[in-house]
Chains A and B, each alone.
Chain A
Amino acid sequence: MDFISILSIFVMAVFVGYYVVWSVTPALHTPLMAVTNAISSVIIVGALIASAAIGIGGTGATSKWLGLLAVVLASINIFGGFAVTARMLAMYKKKDRPAAGHK
């Protein structure tokens, strides 16, 4: 892919993001931040590539370890972000439903 096609995807995605985020109800802004956090950890893709590389020589080995560390950090974020979002979203209930046991 050349730079212009990538840039086009980026610009379009910014517009999609703009409209999608304005449609998010303000009551869910905290879950929004938690879930955006989780998905921005898609950066794990880069971490996986670095980890998969064979570590030859000094820089190669360092690169691999940086990659593995990044996998750990991104995984904390991915699992933690989605789990805490799910936990929050499960709390939002409508009036008629009886209150569930949580506290």
Chain B
Amino acid sequence: MEHVTINPWAALAYLVAGVCFILALRGLSSPTSSQRGNRFGMIGMTIAVVTTLVTHAPWLVTNYAEDSYVARLDTVTLIEILAAIGIGATIGIVTARRIAMTAMPQLVAAFHSLVGMAAVLVAGAAFLNPEAFGIAAAGQIFTQSRIEMGLGVAIGAITFSGSVIAFLKLNGNMGGKPIMLPGRHVINLAVLAGILGLVAYFTQDQSPWVFWTITGLSFAIGFLLIIPIGGADMPVVVSMLNSYSGWAAAAMGFTLHNTAMIITGALVGSSGAILSYIMCRAMNRSFISVIAGGFGGDSGGGAAAAATDRPWKRGSAEDAAFLMSQAEQVIIVPGYGMAVAQAQHVLREMADKLKEEGVRVKYAIHPVAGRMPGHMNVLLAEANVPYDEVFELEDINSEFAQTDVAFIIGANDVVNPAAKTDKSSPIYGMPVFDVNKAKTVLFIKRSMGGVGYAGVDNDVFYQDNTMMLLADAKKMVEEIVKALG
């Protein structure tokens, strides 16, 4: 079989870049080493880009002739490339500086779509000019490269269109409600089979129509796969697309025989896969059922309507302030509602006031709180909440029994005891916080009518020791801060 030849020094440099990327992820094992890790990532990327440019410097490209397609950097080309990088850098840095932390899930989805599109463009460029990539002889692309290229363009296109839909859903341009097409499973399987069949046929026939049909069908399937998935499952979708963007990079790495791309693709691919698994486990859903879609719209309704005549207690900000200032320990359970109301900063003020009074304050974060993995942690960090006051589900759940006040803000399903007791509940089996064991539960909620994403009623509302604080989360916390004096 024909081989792509790569300069050994360049191969070594790409390997070093790959190792830098491993160290970048390794750094994230603790907040103290994380910034160093990020710098390793930047170093790795610089090495990869510089190596590519240097290996195409005019004096190193020897097999070049005026009429060939071989890649060789002349001055004009170099200026074009630097301009392209400059444009991208400006857009990227400005966006990164301006974006609100609450909008991080949308931003990540948008970034995923760019990786997907870049993969499609690179695969397209390689298809149109295979000699430049050293993957063809006499106009015939190597068989192995055709498979890699076909898979690369397919995964890239799926990542792109899937991420665009995820972005529109997360950004609110498109409703969170699942859109269910009739017979969608059959359509999806047929399209997938069509893509795989065409990739196989592509090894026999490298006509443009085969390549571009693979691309078109893949764009379509990415779109079809994500539209039936509801808002509540978006954390899984975002992680899954993260994984796909990695596999797309890996497939292109196979085409170009580039170790940096292969190592990175494998890292990112497994990272996204693990995050999807963690999210699914935290919701007690199987990956297949998430992919099949249809779960969770913008808000439920039916289940709650019947239950609202049950008696419940309403409290005021003053009551809440009094209860918490008398407490020994308060655990705050934030959810997506806190992010929507932008209540994280005033929440930290409240915690500071309580700490002045000698109250121990802790934060409890559920893995699926927010719209992406770790979203709540970032929002609390933004509000200057020290990360050692923030705890994961399994580390803090046993503490509720010895806690005076559980303060729930913008969360609902993750504190619903039905997940443990009611086998018929759609959230049955999901790990939840045992807030009902705390002496008092303070539950901030907009109104009694609405229910969580899963559309199920919550028994915690009607407990004797629960006080409902019905208001906008931010306003309510502001009033509590005032009442604390």
- Say which one of B38-46, B189-197, B223-231, B445-453 lies at the interface with A: B38-46
Given the complex of chains A and B, what is the CA–CA distance between A69 and B18 in angstroms? 24
CB of B122 within 8 A of CB of A40, answer no
- A42-B17, A62-B128, A73-B88 known; A84-B99 Cβ under 8 A: yes
Residue-wise interface mask of A (51-74) relative to B, using a CB-CB cutoff of 8 A (1 in contact, 0 not): 111101001101110111111111
Chain A 19-65 interface residues, beta-carbon cutoff 8 Å to B = 20-54, 56, 59-60, 62-64
Instruction: Indicate if B181 sits at the interface (CB-CB under 8 A).
Output: no
Instruction: Report whether B270 and A21 are in contact in the complex, using a CB–CB cutoff of 8 Å.
Output: yes
Q: Are A75 and B88 in contact (CB under 8 A)?
A: yes
Q: In the complex, are the beta carbons of B262 and A6 less than 8 A apart?
A: yes
> What's the minimum C-beta distance from B87 to chain A, rounded to whole angstroms?
5
Asked if A77 and B114 sit within 8 Å, CB to CB, the answer is yes
Cβ-closest 5 pairs across A and B = A75-B88, A80-B92, A29-B374, A53-B132, A13-B266
- B3 sits at the interface (CB 8 A): yes
Scan B60-90; emit 1 where CB is below 8 A from any A CB, else 0: 0000000111111100010011001111110
| Closest chain A CB from B337 CB (angstroms) | 18
- B53 interfacial contact with A, CB 8 Å: yes
- Please determine whether A52 and B56 come into contact, CB atoms closer than 8 angstroms: yes
Task: Pick the residue among B22, B374, B386 that contacts A26 (CB under 8 A).
Answer: B374
**B contacts with A, residue count (CB < 8 A):** 126
A6 and B114 CA atoms in complex are apart in Å by 26
B377 and A27: CB pair below 8 A? yes
In the complex where A33-B239, A36-B246 touch, is A48 in contact with B69 (Cβ < 8 A)? no
Is the CB–CB distance between A59 and B129 below 8 Å? yes
The distance from the CB of B341 to the nearest CB of chain A, in whole angstroms, is 16
* B→A interface (CB under 8 Å): 1, 3-4, 6, 11, 14, 17-18, 21-22, 24-26, 28-31, 34-35, 37-38, 41-42, 44-45, 48-49, 52-53, 56, 67-73, 77, 80-81, 84-89, 91-93, 95-97, 99, 101, 104, 107-108, 111-112, 114-115, 117-119, 121-122, 124-126, 128-129, 131-133, 144, 238-239, 242, 245-246, 248-250, 252-272, 274-275, 278, 345, 365, 367, 372-375, 377-378, 381-384, 386-390, 392
Instruction: Compute how far the CA of A35 lies from the CA of B29 in the bound complex, rounded to whole angstroms.
Output: 13
- B35, B73, B121, B271: the one within 8 Å of A47 (CB): B121
Q: Report how far A13 CA is from B14 CA in the complex, Å.
A: 14
Q: B121 and A69: CB pair below 8 A? A: yes
Q: A26-B367, A42-B45, A71-B84 are in contact. Are A89 and B18 (CB under 8 A)?
A: no
Given contacts A43-B122, A44-B52, A68-B84, 12 further A-B contacts (CB under 8 A): A13-B262, A17-B25, A26-B392, A35-B28, A36-B271, A51-B77, A52-B73, A54-B68, A60-B129, A63-B125, A70-B117, A73-B117
A-B contact pairs, 6 of them (CB 8 A): A30-B377, A56-B67, A72-B84, A76-B95, A89-B31, A103-B345
- Min CB gap B266→A, angstroms: 3
Q: Chain B residue with minimal CB distance to A12?
A: B266
Most chain A CB within a 10 A radius of its CB, from B77, B133, B378: B378
Residues of A within 8 A of B53 (CB): 48, 52
Q: Does B25 contact A92, Cβ atoms closer than 8 Å?
A: no
The reply to whether B269 and A17 form a contact with Cβ atoms under 8 Å apart is yes
Interface centre among B111, B144, B252 (most CB of A within 10 A): B111
Q: A51: nearest residue on chain B (CB-CB)?
A: B81
| A22 and B254 within 8 A (CB) | no
Q: Which residues of B contact A6 (CB under 8 A)?
A: 254, 257, 259, 262
A65-103 Cβ-contact flags toward B at 8 Å (1 or 0): 011111111111111111111111111111101011011
